[in-house]
Chains A and B, each alone.
Chain A
Amino acid sequence: MPGKPLLEFNDNGIYCAAGKFYIDPWKPVDDAVITHAHSDHARWGSKNYLAHHLSREVLKYRLGAEINLQTVEYGETVFKNGVQISFHPAGHIIGSAQIRVEYKGEVWVVSGDYKLEDDGVCTPFEPVKCHSFISECTFGMPVYNWKPPLEVHAEINRWWQKNIEEDRASVIVGYSLGKAQRILQHLDMSLGKVYTHGVIENTHEALRRNGIQLNPTTRITPQSNKDEVRKGIILAPPSSVGSPWMRRFYPYDFGYCSGWMALRGAKRRRAADRGFVLSDHADWDGLLQAIDATGCETVYLTHGYTAAFSRYLAEIGYDAHEAHTLYGGDEAVEEDSSTVELVNEEGEVIQPGEGAAEI
Chain B
Amino acid sequence: MRAFAKLFADLDETNKTNEKVRVLKEYFTSVTDHDKIHTLALFTGRKPKRQINATFVRTWAMEMAGIPPWLFEESYQVVGDLGETIALLLPRNTSEQHKSLTEWIGEMNALANMDEAGRKQWLTDAWASMSQQERFVFNKVLTGSFRVGVSQNLIIKALADISGLDAATLTHRIMGNWDPNTFSFSQLMQEQDASDDISRPYPFYLAYAIQETSDQQKTAEEMEESLGDPANWQAEWKWDGIRAQAIYRDGKIFIWTRGEELSTDKFPELHGFLKELPDGTVLDGEAICFSDGTPLPFNVLQTRIGRKNLSKKILEESPMAFIAYDCLEYAGEDIRHLPLSERREKLEELQSKTSFPEIFRLSPVVDFSSWEDLYDLRLLSRENHAEGFMLKRLESTYQTGRKRGDWWKWKVDPLSVDAVLMYAQKGHGRRADLYTDYTFAVWDGDKLVAFAKAYSGLTDKEINQVDYFVKRNTLEKFGPVRTVKPQLVFEIGFEGINKSNRHKSGVALRFPRILRWRTDKKIEEADTIETLKNFLG
Interface 0/1 of A101-117, CB less than 8 Å to B = 00000000000000000
Binding site for B on A (CB under 8 A): 141-145, 253, 260, 262-269, 271, 273-274, 305, 307-308, 311-312, 315, 326, 329-330, 332-333, 336
Question: What are 20 A-B contacts with C-beta separation under 8 Å?
Answer: A142-B89, A263-B79, A263-B433, A264-B81, A265-B81, A265-B432, A266-B432, A267-B12, A268-B430, A269-B431, A269-B460, A273-B14, A305-B74, A305-B78, A311-B70, A312-B71, A326-B472, A332-B433, A333-B467, A336-B464
Query: Is A143 within 8 A of B433, CB to CB?
Result: no
Q: CA of A51 to CA of B394 in the docked complex: distance in angstroms?
A: 75
CA distance A308 to B75 in the complex (A): 9
Q: Which listed residue, A260, A268, A336, touches B429 by the CB 8 Å rule?
A: A268
- Whether B74 contacts A308 by the Cβ 8 Å rule is yes
Q: Does B88 contact A (CB under 8 A)?
A: yes
Q: How far is the CA of A271 from the CA of B15 in the complex (A)?
A: 8
Instruction: Say how far B419's CB is from chain A's closest CB, in angstroms.
Output: 25
Per the 8 Å Cβ criterion, residues 423-478 of B in contact with A are: 427-434, 460, 464, 467-468, 471-472, 477
B433→A266 contact, CB < 8 A: yes
Interface size on B, residues (CB 8 A): 36
Chain B residues whose C-beta falls within 8 Å of the C-beta of A330 in the assembled complex: 433
Closest A residue to B76 by CB, please name it: A143
Partner of A264, one of B67, B427, B429: B429
**Contact between chains at B81 and A273 (CB < 8 Å):** no
In the complex, the chain B residue whose C-beta lies closest to that of A264 is B84
Residue contact B430 to A266, C-beta cutoff 8 Å? yes
Contact indicator B71/A263 (Cβ below 8 Å): no
Q: Quick one: which of A145, A263, A274 has the most chain B CB within 10 A?
A: A263
Q: Are the CB atoms of A273 and B16 closer together than 8 Å?
A: yes
User: Residue on B with the closest CB to A242?
Assistant: B460
Nearest-Cβ distance from residue A273 to partner chain B, whole angstroms: 6
Task: Say yes or no for B23: interface residue by CB 8 A criterion.
Answer: no
Q: Cβ of B85: which chain A residues have Cβ within 8 Å of it?
A: 143
Residue from B70, B81, B430 having most chain A Cβ neighbours under 10 A: B430
* Least CB distance, A141 to chain B, in whole angstroms: 5
- Residues of A near B70 (CB, < 8 A) are 311
Residues A315 and B68 in contact, CB atoms below 8 Å apart: yes
A315 to B68, CA, bound (A): 10
A-contacting residues, B34-85, CB 8 Å: 65, 67-68, 70-71, 74-75, 78-81, 84-85
Give the residue of A142, A260, A336 whose beta carbon is less than 8 angstroms from that of B65. Answer: A142
The reply to whether A141 and B433 contact each other, CB–CB distance below 8 Å, is no
Besides the contacts A265-B79, A265-B433, A268-B429, what 12 more A-B pairs have beta carbons closer than 8 Å? A141-B75, A142-B67, A143-B78, A143-B79, A253-B14, A263-B84, A264-B12, A265-B80, A266-B433, A268-B430, A312-B71, A315-B68
B465 to chain A, nearest CB (A): 9
Identify which of A265, A269, A312 gathers the most chain B CB atoms within 10 Å of its CB: A265
- A264-B12, A273-B14, A312-B71 known; A145+B433 contact, CB < 8 A: no
Collect the chain A residues with CB atoms within 8 Å of residue B225's CB.
none
- B465's nearest neighbour on chain A, judged by CB, is A336
Task: Tell me, rounded to whole Å, the shortest Cβ–Cβ distance linking B12 to chain A.
Answer: 7
List chain B residues, Cβ under 8 A from A142.
Answer: 65, 67, 71, 75, 88-89
In the complex, the answer to whether A145 meets B88 with C-beta atoms within 8 Å is: yes
Chain B residues whose C-beta falls within 8 Å of the C-beta of A265 in the assembled complex? 79-81, 427-433
- Determine the chain A residues whose CB is within 8 A of the CB of B13 once the complex forms: 273-274
Residue-wise interface mask of B (409-431) relative to A, using a CB-CB cutoff of 8 A (1 in contact, 0 not): 00000000000000000011111
Cross-chain contact A329 with B471 (CB below 8 angstroms): yes
| Min C-beta distance of B5 to chain A, whole Å | 13
Task: Please measure, in the bound complex, the distance between the C-alpha atom of A99 and the C-alpha atom of B67, giving whole angstroms.
Answer: 32
B215 to chain A, nearest CB (A): 27
User: Which residues of B are at the interface with A, using a C-beta cutoff of 8 A?
Assistant: 12-16, 65, 67-68, 70-71, 74-75, 78-81, 84-85, 88-89, 149, 427-434, 460, 464, 467-468, 471-472, 477
Q: B45 CB to closest chain A CB, in angstroms?
A: 19
- How far, in angstroms, from A332 to B430 measured CA to CA in the complex? 14
- State the CA gap A353–B5 with chains docked (Å): 54
Which residues on the B side are within 8 Å of A144 (C-beta)? 88
Chain A residues whose CB sits within 8 angstroms of the CB of B432 once the complex forms: 263, 265-266
Q: How far is the CB of A356 from chain B (nearest CB, A)?
A: 25
Q: For residue A258, which residue of chain B has the nearest CB?
A: B433
A142 to B81, CA, bound (A): 15
Instruction: Give A43 to B428 CA distance when docked, in angstroms.
Output: 32
Query: CA–CA, A180 to B89, complex, Å?
Result: 29
CB of A308 within 8 A of CB of B71, answer yes
Q: For the complex, give the distance between the alpha carbons of A271 and B16 in Å.
A: 11
CA gap between A267 and B12 in the complex, in Å: 9
- Chain B: minimal CB distance from A179 (Å): 17
Give the CA-CA distance A201 to B84 in the complex, in Å. 37
Shortest Cβ gap from B348 to chain A (Å): 47
Give every chain B residue within 8 A of A143 (Cβ-Cβ): 75, 78-79, 85, 88-89
Min Cβ gap A208→B in Å is 32
Residue contact B430 to A269, C-beta cutoff 8 Å: yes
Bound: A84/B527 CA distance, A: 58
* CB nearest to B429 among chain A residues: A265
A127 to B43, CA, bound (A): 49
Q: Which residues of the other chain, B, contact A307 by a CB distance below 8 angstroms?
A: 477
- Complex Cα spacing A329 to B482, Å: 15
Provide the bound-state CA to CA distance between A143 and B135, in Å.
14
Complex Cα spacing A308 to B73, Å:
10
Inter-subunit contact B88/A260 (CB<8 Å): no
* Smallest Cβ-Cβ distance to A254: which chain B residue: B15
B473 to chain A, nearest CB (A): 12
With a CB–CB cut-off of 8 A, which chain B residues contact A312? 68, 71
Closest to B91 in A: A145
> Which residues of A sit under 8 angstroms from B427, Cβ to Cβ?
265
Name which residue of chain A comes closest to B72, CB basis.
Answer: A142
Residues on the B chain within 8 Å of A267, using CB: 12, 430
Q: Which residue of A lies closest to B432 (CB)?
A: A265
What CA separation (Å) do A260 and B467 show in the bound complex?
Answer: 16
Which B residues are CB-close (under 8 A) to A269?
A: 430-431, 433-434, 460
Residue of chain A at shortest CB distance from B16: A273
A142-B65, A265-B80, A273-B14 are contacts. A332–B434 as well, Cβ < 8 Å? Answer: yes
**A231–B70 alpha-carbon span in the complex (Å):** 50
- Give the CA-CA distance A263 to B216 in the complex, in Å: 38
CA distance A134 to B428 in the complex (A): 30
> How far, in angstroms, from A143 to B427 measured CA to CA in the complex?
16
Residues of B within 8 A of A315 (CB): 68
Nearest A residue to B463, CB-CB: A269
Can you name the residue of chain A whose Cβ is closest to the Cβ of B428?
A265
Please, which residues of chain A bring their CB within 8 A of the CB of B16? 273
CA distance A144 to B467 in the complex (A): 22
* Bound Cα distance from A311 to B477, whole angstroms: 15
Chain A residues within 8 Å of B471, by CB: 329, 333
The 9 closest A-B pairs by CB, nearest first: A268-B430, A265-B429, A143-B88, A265-B430, A265-B432, A269-B430, A308-B74, A143-B75, A266-B433
Assembled-state Cα–Cα distance A336/B468 (Å): 10
Residues of B within 8 A of A326 (CB): 472
* Chain A residues in 8 Å Cβ range of B460: 269
CA distance A305 to B428 in the complex (A): 16
A311 partner residues in chain B, CB cutoff 8 A: 70
Q: Is the CB of B78 within 8 A of A141?
A: yes
Task: Provide the bound-state CA to CA distance between A330 and B71, in Å.
Answer: 20
Least CB distance, B439 to chain A, in whole angstroms: 20
